[in-house]
């Protein structure tokens, strides 16, 4: 059950402090509390809870505010609870009426916050926040780009710039190797067999656990892993896993069923063994929808081609930024995809927001397909990059324009880098598919939120400076 909180949130002057202490109104969390769109999606958040009796859920500001603080400082769940119980400014930010020494919730409650505040809700909150970012003052022009987006509803020439790029948000999993995955699958199968035999009073079959563990340790401790040694180790671990699977199939045929929570795990292990057996027999190292994590089977390898990380494991996403440098998620998926297919949809969403297409699109080489070039040419959009065909003799203007486009395109690289370094996109530590997508959307949302805060502080400082100069 969800109860809509009181809209009359206590002001900073009414915030109850011990011993009557007053809080600084210029604190960053006090200023940020007035910028976050707390009440816009209150009804949508309340619709997630069934009506009727039951425990009252936490308010949206408490849930979303806690996730924003955690994303900003990269706290663990337990550390976040400790920080909230010690800092009155953080308590004011999450909407508490006054300072309280006890924690506002338990650390396990954050898991439910991430489940309920989904990626779609965060994306809608991000759109609303960007639409109203100029309510307190004009935005400064972006460096290296046009002054800003055109107002909606006007029929005029294309205006503005859309910069788009793809990246991967790596998930915190062990680097997948065939031997380690098969060994983990074998250990889980042995444990499931043991629990089934203990629950139903069956005779425990012989599983050769010690021999399997000995073979695995002998491989991982060897210094040189030649191709012959790898194939031999894979063959042994596959044989142990197939024996355990035959035991389980025999139990299933007799009418015995595993625990409900073990069924998704068994499905993943069976698929993993089938893929490993296929690659072993056909002497290949890739397969469609390859399982790289038993506990998180939705994760897929994403080939990025970078020197530091040629292959990453996590959701792949297209990020676009507008003329003001604010980011949006255009597409996100755990499966590898060609990012060139998301350009047309991103341009149409840009038109829905501003009423016109952008004047130019800054993207790397993979977006410059034949279809995308034709689409941009049809709608009067200039797509960055060299022109097709033989270059002209006097192409200094084209080279200058290409250099300027490459310089401006760095903005999206800077946005992605900041989201990974400062706002958690560099390593997703949540364990569920929905919460991992929530973490990605939260990184973009919080990055925009603090960018708006810095812009407001810059405008206020500029006004104060001009006032002091005029008085002097």
pLDDT value of residue 444: 96
Quick one: pLDDT band at residue 148, thresholds 50, 70, 90? very low
Whether the Cβ atoms of residue 297 and residue 310 lie closer than 8 Å to each other? no
Whether the Cβ atoms of residue 40 and residue 457 lie closer than 8 Å to each other? no
Length of the chain: 472
Best CA proximity match to 74, nearest among 442, 341, 339 = 442
Whether the Cβ atoms of residue 430 and residue 114 lie closer than 8 Å to each other? yes
Percent of the chain with pLDDT over 70: 87
Helices (H) and strands (E) in the chain, counts: 16, 7
Which of these ranges, 11-20, 60-69, 184-193, has the smallest mean pLDDT?
A: 11-20
Statement: residue 446 has pLDDT above 90 = yes
- The mean pLDDT value for 408-431 works out to 94
pLDDT value of residue 460: 44
3-state secondary structure at position 324: coil
Burial zone of 448 (CB within 10 Å; 0-12 exposed, 13-18 middle, 19+ buried) = buried
Quick one: pLDDT band at residue 465, thresholds 50, 70, 90? very low
pLDDT value of residue 209: 93
Please give the full DSSP string across 95-151, using - where no structure is assigned. T-SB--SS-SS-TTHHHHHHHHS-HHHHHHHHHHHHHTTTTTSPPPPPTTS-S-PPP
Segment (H or E) for 311? strand 311-313
460 or 241: whose pLDDT is higher? 241
- HSE-up of residue 161 (Cα within 13 Å, Cβ side): 25
Statement: residue 154 has pLDDT above 60 = no
Statement: residue 143 has pLDDT above 50 = no
Residue 403 Cα distances to 47, 363, 397, angstroms: 50, 13, 10
Statement: residue 377 has pLDDT above 70 = yes
Best CA proximity match to 366, nearest among 415, 417, 318, 414 = 318
- The mean pLDDT value for 174-187 works out to 95
Q: How many CB atoms lie within 10 A of CB 105?
A: 17
Burial zone of 335 (CB within 10 Å; 0-12 exposed, 13-18 middle, 19+ buried) = exposed
Residue 89 Cα distances to 23, 27, 33, 76, 129, angstroms: 8, 8, 10, 19, 22
pLDDT value of residue 468: 44
Question: According to CATH, where is 3.30.420 located in the chain?
Answer: 141-173+314-431
| The token pair that represents 22 in the structure block | 């007053």
Statement: residue 1 has pLDDT above 60 = yes
442 or 148: whose pLDDT is higher? 442
Beta bridge partners of 312: 302
Which of these ranges, 212-221, 252-261, 463-472, has the smallest mean pLDDT?
A: 463-472
Q: How many CB atoms lie within 10 A of CB 339?
A: 20
3-state secondary structure at position 181: helix
Instruction: Supply the pTM of this predicted model.
Output: 0.87
pLDDT value of residue 466: 45
Beta bridge partners of 69: none
Contacts 24+ apart (CB under 8 A), 85-93: 88/15, 88/17, 88/23, 89/23, 89/27, 89/29, 89/30, 90/29, 92/12, 92/15, 92/23, 92/29, 92/30, 92/33, 93/29, 93/30, 93/32, 93/33, 93/65, 93/68, 93/69
Burial zone of 214 (CB within 10 Å; 0-12 exposed, 13-18 middle, 19+ buried) = exposed
- The mean pLDDT value for 263-281 works out to 96
Give every CB contact of residue 336 below 8 A, 6+ residues apart in sequence.
Answer: 300, 301, 302, 303, 316
Quick one: pLDDT band at residue 133, thresholds 50, 70, 90? confident
Quick one: pLDDT band at residue 363, thresholds 50, 70, 90? very high
Whole-angstrom distance, CA of residue 297 vs CA of residue 313: 11
What pLDDT, in 10s, does the model give residues 291-344? 999 999 999 999 987 877 889 999 999 999 998 899 999 999 999 999 999 999
CATH match for 141-173+314-431 among 3.40.50, 3.30.70, 2.40.128, 3.30.420: 3.30.420
Statement: residue 55 has pLDDT above 90 = no
Average pLDDT, the chain: 86
- The mean pLDDT value for 219-248 works out to 95
């Amino acid at each position: 059950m969800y109860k809509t909180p009181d809209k009359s949130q206590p002001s900073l002057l009414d915030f109850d402090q011990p011993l009557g202490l007053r809080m600084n109104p210029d604190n960053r969390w006090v200023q940020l509390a007035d910028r976050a769109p707390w009440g816009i999606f209150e009804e949508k958040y309340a619709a997630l809870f069934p009506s009727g009796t039951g425990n009252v859920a936490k308010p949206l500001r408490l849930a979303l505010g806690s996730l924003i603080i955690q994303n900003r400082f990269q706290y663990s769940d337990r550390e976040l609870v400790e920080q909230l119980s010690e800092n009155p400014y953080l308590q004011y930010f999450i909407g508490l009426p006054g300072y309280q020494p006890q924690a506002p919730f338990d650390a396990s409650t954050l898991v439910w916050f991430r489940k309920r505040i989904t990626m779609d809700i965060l994306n809608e909150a991000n759109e609303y926040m960007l639409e109203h970012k100029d309510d307190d003052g004009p935005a400064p022009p972006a460096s290296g780009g046009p002054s800003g987006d055109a107002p909606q509803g006007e029929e005029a020439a294309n205006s503005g710039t859309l910069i788009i790029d793809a990246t991967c948000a790596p998930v915190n999993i062990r680097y997948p190797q065939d031997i380690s995955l098969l060994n983990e699958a074998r250990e889980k199968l042995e444990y499931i067999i043991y629990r089934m035999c203990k629950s139903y009073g069956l005779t425990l079959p012989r599983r050769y656990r010690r021999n399997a563990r000995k073979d695995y340790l002998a491989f991982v401790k060897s210094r040189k892993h030649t191709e012959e040694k790898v194939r031999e180790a894979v063959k042994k671990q596959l044989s142990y896993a197939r024996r355990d699977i035959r035991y389980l199939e025999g139990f299933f045929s007799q009418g015995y069923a595993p625990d409900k929570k073990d069924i998704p795990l068994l499905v993943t292990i069976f698929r993993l063994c089938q893929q490993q057996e296929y690659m072993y027999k056909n002497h290949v190292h890739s397969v469609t929808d390859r399982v790289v994590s038993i506990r998180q089977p939705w994760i897929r390898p994403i080939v990025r081609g970078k020197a530091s990380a040629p292959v990453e494991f996590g959701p792949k996403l297209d990020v676009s930024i507008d003329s003001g440098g604010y980011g949006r998620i255009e597409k996100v998926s755990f499966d590898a995809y060609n990012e060139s297919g998301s350009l047309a949809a991103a341009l149409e969403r840009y038109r829905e927001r501003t009423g016109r297409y952008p004047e130019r699109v800054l993207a790397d080489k993979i977006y410059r397909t034949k279809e995308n070039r034709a689409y941009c040419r049809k709608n009067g959009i200039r797509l960055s990059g060299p022109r097709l065909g033989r270059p002209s003799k006097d192409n200094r203007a084209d080279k200058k324009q290409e250099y300027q486009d490459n310089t401006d395109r760095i903005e999206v690289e800077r946005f992605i880098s900041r989201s990974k370094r400062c706002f958690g996109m560099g390593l997703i530590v949540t364990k569920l598919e929905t919460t991992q997508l929530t973490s990605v959307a939260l990184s973009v949302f919080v990055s925009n939120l603090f960018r708006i805060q810095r812009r407001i502080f810059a405008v206020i400082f500029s006004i104060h400076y001009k006032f002091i100069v005029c008085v002097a």
